[in-house]
Structure 1
Amino acid sequence: MEHIILENGIITTLDPNIPQAESIYIENGKIIAVGTKKDIRHMYDRAGVQRIDCKGAYIYPGFVDSHMHLSLVGQKLQMIDFREVRSKGEMLRLIRERAETIPMDEWIVGQGWQESMLDELPRLEELDESSLGRPLLLSRICFHSYLANGRAAELAGVRPHQEEPEKGAYGRNTEGRWNGRIYEEASLPFHQAQPKPTYEQKKSTIRQAMELALQYGLTAVHTEDLRFIESVSDLIQIHRECCQEGTYLRTHQLIYQPHFDQLEELGLHFQGGDEWMRIGAMKLFSDGSLGSWTAWLQEPYADNPETNGISIHTDEQLLHFAEHARKRGYPIAVHAIGDAAADQVIRTIEQLQRKYGTEEPPRHRLIHAQILQSSMIERIKNAKIALDLQPIFVQGDFPWVVGRVGEQRLTTSYAWKTLIEAGIPCAGGSDAPIEPLSPLLGMYAAMTRNHHPADHSDYHESQKLTAEQALRLYTLGSAYLAGEEHERGSITPQKYADFTILDRDLTRCTPEQIRDANVLATIVNGKIAYTDSSIT
């Protein structure tokens, strides 16, 4: 039996019944009482109760990232990182340096390049030369577009110069020859050709990412890792072992559609699991990304009028998958960036509800929802679709996205405030490692709609959020999307004792001060999961 009093803190509860407090009493990972230091000591201070002095620190409901990828965050730590690279020459130098240190049969993998940040992209011949005969696969920052070399194509068993892929696409030069670029599902053979990590390597990758999340003040994450782990049984075992070994991070696991039938084989159900790991919605994709011109738009791209993106599934395929999930009691969570993709997802959910009704299970979600038409907002609300937003995309996508989709389309895009004020349930995520994992940086982006540091006039200033709106995205919002609003999201009796402890008052800070806040401790289930030693 664990009995803990947190005291001498300045507590923002997000509970309207007691918005502010000084002390919290915890038993066995649950909040029992919230109030003044005097009242909590009077009622609960006794032998066997541990008192933790917060020394005037600021305590918030535990921050939760509603959309990220633990496996990719962990993998990125082992890849060449191109996020800060600004020239083709520097990119090729990093590739050659890695090639010189690894065996001939080891893959060179990297992540984070953006054509908008480079003077030009390497040609296929340059990738072949700099990789010194090693196979190479480099992901764009979005993980929807890649650069590969000839050796990688040979090992993948594909012939991009002679044929088109069954799904996705290959990039081509003006002569129609493959230029090294790969789009969407055309990358699958390249991934499948790489050596499979062992169970211990998978576990280490996940643990490193979990530890990083805790350092950022995250008490839980919504993630989708079966494309890396592959086995639901291994996924459950890895998270169980990480918890048993002292890595205390809750996870809400979206289940990628190709692995969905494993759940039935194991007798698992929606929201099954335990307090540390829960089974979530079926994860699907409707399109790709704006950066690689594969987000699916209703009209062609402004800077590439020959395409309006890529549709991952036909309407019939998406409805089939959605019905398969619904019949087994699961919602769907669908990646949709473009307005054509969003329309397809909304129509699919509308069809489901006409056939099955709007009762449980909660809660279908549309992931990203960047490019929308104004007519979609009411449809989203009426269909009770929750939105999984990434405010930090404003930093990564502007200003280049203006030229990509055109100013007119942006009037109802990245419109976080409009969506919130329409009464649509919204949560905040990072999509890490595509963008930084820090929820504080996400809040800063939501409030400023600017880069870090600020370098221009704000993008669509009318869509700026208040500090409280931004805070709710990463607390109450993420709890609602998971169907866990009765368990977390606010500091309320009988909810889990999950807290993010900072060195400043987010409700009274400038956005810049929020961005620069320090995480003093992360408490999950009443356990100190991370501390900088100032909380004891």
Structure 2
Amino acid sequence: MTVQADIVLRNGPIWCGYEEGTVEALAIWQGRVLAVGRDAEIAALVGPATRVIELKGRLATPGLNDSHLHLISLGLTMDWVDSKPAVAPTLDSLLDAIGARAARARPGEWIMSRGYDQTKLDVGRHPYREELDRASPNNPVVLVRACGHIWICNSQALALAGIDENTPAPSDGLIEQQNGRLTGLLAENGSAKVRAAIPVPSEEELVAGIERAGNYLLSLGITSCMDAAVGQKAGFAEIAAYHRAKRDGRLPVRTWLTLLGDDGRSIVPQCHEAGLISGTGDDMLMIGAVKLFLDGSAGGRTAWMSQPYLGQDQTTGVQMKQDADLEREVMNTHEKGYQLACHAIGDAAIEQLITAYEKALAAHPDPDRRHRIEHCGFSTPRQHERMIEAGIYPCPQQAFIHDFGDAYVKVLGPERGLPSYPLGTWFKLGLKPATGSDAPVCDPNPFPNFHAMITRKTWRGSVMDARECVSPEQALQAYTEYGAFSQKQEHVKGRLIPGYLADIAVFSRDLLTAEPHEILNDTRCDLTIRGGEVVFEREGATH
């Protein structure tokens, strides 16, 4: 008896993977890919109950995998004041938006906003505390830069956190003053006291954030993601929230949980005690790596560089950990059996991390642990050689090139800024780079990311070293197969071959042949399938 497919997609192209190329039709049965091939071959699997989806020339691909974002944070910030440049391009418009939210807020309610970039504001600087005071005189305000590493607070927020002119800045952070007065700017762990003062989200708020952000990802063709710092908002309670979301059918996307591991905030001891180590879970919800923060962001001038940023202060950024502390944390985590996925953007931070990984792997060899360097923005040729030797992989976000490339050149100069996030080099070296958005740092919308991979163009049209461009097929490989590889799941998902999970995205135009400007400005996800189930259909899409 011939099996009858649950769903058949036909009249492709259907891109099955970098090596597999495209086919005309694909059949799904019981949540997995049953068969791929010519339309006439797959037609034999169509039965009375089969749903047939006519692609009509639209491209179907494996579901996209955003390999580094913050799902809970994305969901929570979707309810914050939006201060992204596209929404609030001027300081006045940003302050007006905060003022409007404050005007309808309850007394004492925190006003949270995220997305501004001082290099894109009309004033070309960070907002000041006094400006936020005028916008919201009766409510505490926190304005978070797009990168998440710099916070601007009004006076009430600083007071509630117990920060004044006499508060010492931590060694791994900044509490900025000018002329003996707080400006409101807090960088890296300079914001720790404010973080502690903000009310912790309830479990229901966490689950609602997971659901809200996950449904947004499905609308973009993203079926898998990595939550890059579970525990940042509510500690170990986020593990419970994820499992409740899964139990209650409110986890829209496959999620790989990366556990916050920094001393003082780590949830790793509780997870390890509960038996939650890398690989625990299932295809829908899995414990992934452990996250440590080594530095900040390049656009915020806090990524740790070996040479100073441009400017009179001669800063080299923020070193978050001393060598001995990092090596101890990495060794301890590695010994417990965890994969590590640590934040390192500047070349000095990358150097420090590679050294710590090398020492852990030398002490406890594991040729397939796949420790990751998250972001890895300013890596050097010698560092690449060491990564290859040790089996360490970069996990970048090419959306950064689109959103922040011009800022990199502004703060570092063209010699260091233009070749940042060298995707083409990593491909040539076989380092299997994944890609992602770091949402809510960047919007998870994949099309600016895809456009940046194939053109190296920023939002302004500047070209960030065209030698690092990759082909459309390679860009899709980064978004699918290499995303799965980064999570040790390349034998389960990331390609459309028989037996693999039937996670599929259908786009309004063919990304393999469309003009780059069409991809950036006029392409949408029309339909998303996760595990053989249609979980998103764009209203009005033709099929």
**Fold shared, TM-score > 0.5 on shorter chain:** yes
Task: Name which of 67, 70, 94 aligns with 2:97.
Answer: 94
Contact 2:405 2:417 (8 Å CA) reproduced: no
Q: CA deviation at 1:172?
A: 1.4
1:458 offset after TM fit, Å? 1.7
Partner deviation per Cα, 1:254-287 (whole Å, 9 max, x = no partner): 1111111121222222111122111100011110
Describe how 1:366-381 pairs up with structure 2 within 5 A. Answer: 366-381=373-388
Unpaired runs of 5+ residues, structure 1, are none
Q: CA deviation at 1:166?
A: 5.9
Provide the secondary structure at the position in 2 that maps to 1:423.
Answer: coil
| Match in the other structure for 2:114 | 111
Helix, strand or coil at the partner of 1:282: strand
1:434 matched to 2:441: yes
341-350 or 232-241, larger mean C-alpha shift: 232-241
Which residue of structure 1 lines up, in the alignment, with residue 295 of structure 2? 287
Tell me the TM-score normalised to structure 1 length: 0.93
Aligned mate of 2:314, from 306, 312, 317: 306
- Cα contact 2:66–2:437 (8 A) shared by 1: yes
- Residues 1:90 and 1:239: Cα distance change in structure 2 (over 3 Å): same
Specify the alignment match of 1:471 in structure 2.
Answer: 476
Percent identical residues: 29
Distance in 1 (alpha carbons) for counterparts of 2:49 and 2:527:
23
Q: Measure, in 1, the Cα distance between the counterparts of 2:353 and 2:155.
A: 37
1:41 corresponds to: 43
**1-side partners of 2:387 and 2:412: how far apart?**
22
SS of the residue 1:78 aligns to: coil
Shift of 1:348: 0.8
State the number of aligned residues.
528
Q: 1:24 corresponds to which residue? A: 26
Aligned to 2:277: 269
Q: Select between 266-275 and 487-496 the one with higher mean Cα deviation.
A: 266-275
| 1:520 counterpart = 2:526 | yes
Report the secondary structure of 2:6's partner residue.
Answer: strand
Alignment-derived partner of residue 371 in structure 2 = 364
Q: Is the 8 A contact 1:8 1:56 kept in 2?
A: no
SS at match of 1:333: strand
CA shift digits 1:61-92 (9 cap, x unpaired)? 11111111112221222111111233333333
TM-score (norm 2): 0.92
CA separation in 2, counterparts of 1:95 and 1:236?
Answer: 31
Q: Distance in 2 between matches of 1:162 and 1:20?
A: 61
Q: Name the CA shift for 1:304/1:334 in 2 (closer, same or farther; >3 Å).
A: farther
Query: Does the aligned pair in 2 maintain the 1:280–1:482 contact within 8 Å?
Result: yes
Question: Relative to structure 2, which stretch is displaced further, 406-415 or 72-81?
Answer: 406-415
Going from structure 1 to structure 2, the CA distance change for 1:117 and 1:58 (only over 3 Å counts) comes to closer
What's the C-alpha RMSD, in Å, of the aligned pairs? Answer: 2.1
* Secondary structure of residue in 1 paired with 2:278: coil
1:217 maps to 2:224: no
- For 2:47 and 2:216, the matched residues in 1 are separated by 36
1:5 Cα deviation after fit: 3.4
Q: 2: distance between equivalents of 1:387 and 1:337?
A: 10
Amino acid in structure 2 at the alignment position of 1:488: K
Alpha carbons 2:394, 2:433 under 8 Å: kept? yes
Alignment counterpart, residue 461 of structure 1, candidates 452, 463, 466: 466
- The Cα shift of 1:374 comes to 2.4
Query: For residue 78 of structure 1, what is the aligned residue in structure 2?
Result: 79
Counterpart among 252, 255, 258 of residue 259 in structure 2: 255
Change beyond 3 A, Cα 1:162–1:29 = closer
- In structure 2, stretches of 5+ residues that fail to align are none
CA apart distance, 1:305: 4.0
Aligned to 2:155: 150
In 2, the alpha carbon distance for the partners of 1:188 and 1:162 equals 12
Q: For the residues of structure 2 that align with 1:517 and 1:94, how far apart are their CA atoms?
A: 29
After alignment, is 479-488 or 104-113 more displaced? 104-113
2:535 — aligned with what?
Answer: 529
Q: Give how far 1:399 is off.
A: 2.1
Q: CA deviation at 1:241?
A: 3.5
- 1:229-260 CA-to-partner distances (Å, cap 9, x unmatched) read 42254133233145x25x53111111111111
- For 2:303 and 2:171, the matched residues in 1 are separated by 18
Could you tell me which amino acid in structure 2 is paired with residue 521 of structure 1?
A: L
Do the aligned partners of residues 338 and 304 (structure 1) sit closer, same or farther apart at CA in structure 2, a change above 3 Å counting?
farther
